[in-house]
Chains A and B, each alone.
Chain A
Amino acid sequence: MTGINLIFWFIALMTIISASIVVLSNNLIYSAVSLLFTLLGIAGLYVFLWADFIAITQILIYVGGILVLIIFGIMLTHRITDVTLSQSSNQQMLGGGIILIIFLGLSYMMLNTPWFQDTAVEPQETINQIGYLLMIDYLLPFEVASILLLVALIGAALLSRSSK
């Protein structure tokens, strides 16, 4: 049990440290690479929460799709002659103070609320049940999501073509 605890806290620490590199680093490529470790760490947390399908989806879509898209965005919006892909941050002290207050309020609320909790046995797999839920209880949002993806695809292609 302690070994599992050790792995859990290692993953949590890795997630948080790389997330802080994402927001604090001055080099955008460093930010993108540490976003990779953040997303992988979050996928690890999903495994600890018995969400196998969501963990795989996280790796496939976030790491395989969105992160590649973001790196493309960085490459396309900086001239090759720019040696450093640096960027500035404004008013970090003021922003940090406000965010610290928000974080303290948030964690006070989370630790002092009596959340509804119920025990459960670890399921063999979740894919089966997720499939039933998507096809029966959540069929309409599922179909709407497919239309949304189509609209986003067409919209992104239309927006990013050259103006001619």
Chain B
Amino acid sequence: MDLNSYLIISSILFSLGLFGVITRRNGVAVLMSIELILNAANINFIAFSRFSGMDLSGHIFSLFVIILAAAEAAVALAIILNIFNNFGSINIDDANKMSH
């Protein structure tokens, strides 16, 4: 349970999230993959905070990341709902026009 094991876990999560973002075509699935990436960054913040003398600034940063993730999820889901209403599906390859 040293620093490296946390870093490896978070880089696995980051890679999985990036893989989801570039391969999935469903808007909600892309959003879930983005949440994975944000959580991977959060694990890094907390792990570095724990292993560098318990400096709690890392905790504050991860709190702000969680706040931003909440705001981002709300706005992104509103946009996805609009895409669904305008295009009839949430395949993000179809949504390549600003209007329909």
Question: Which residues of A come within 8 Å of B, CB atoms?
Answer: 4-5, 8, 12, 15-16, 19-20, 22-23, 28, 31-32, 35, 38-39, 42, 45-46, 48-51, 53-54, 57-58, 61-62, 65-66, 69-70, 72-74, 76-77, 87-92, 95-96, 98-100, 102-103, 106-107, 110-111, 115-121, 123, 126, 129-130, 133-134, 137-138, 141, 145, 148-149, 151-153, 155-157, 159-160, 163
B50 close to A69 (CB less than 8 A): no
Given contacts A16-B13, A118-B53, contact A134 B81 (CB under 8 A): no
Q: Give Cα A5–Cα B2 distance, bound, in whole angstroms.
A: 11
Q: Give Cα A100–Cα B73 distance, bound, in whole angstroms.
A: 27
User: How many A-B pairs fall under 8 Å by CB?
Assistant: 227
B interface SS class: helix
Min CB distance B5 to A, Å, is: 7
Interface-central residue, A19, A62, A157, by most chain B CB under 10 Å: A19
Question: Which residue on A lies nearest to B72, using beta carbons?
Answer: A152
A73 close to B53 (CB less than 8 A): no
Range of interface residues on B (Cβ < 8 Å): 35 or more
Interface string of B21-50 (1 = CB under 8 A from A): 011111111011101100100110011111
A interface SS class: helix
B60 close to A133 (CB less than 8 A): yes
A102 close to B84 (CB less than 8 A): no
Min CB distance B23 to A, Å, is: 4
Min CB distance A108 to B, Å, is: 10
Min CB distance A116 to B, Å, is: 6
Contact residues in B for A70 (Cβ distance below 8 Å): 28, 31-32, 35, 73, 77
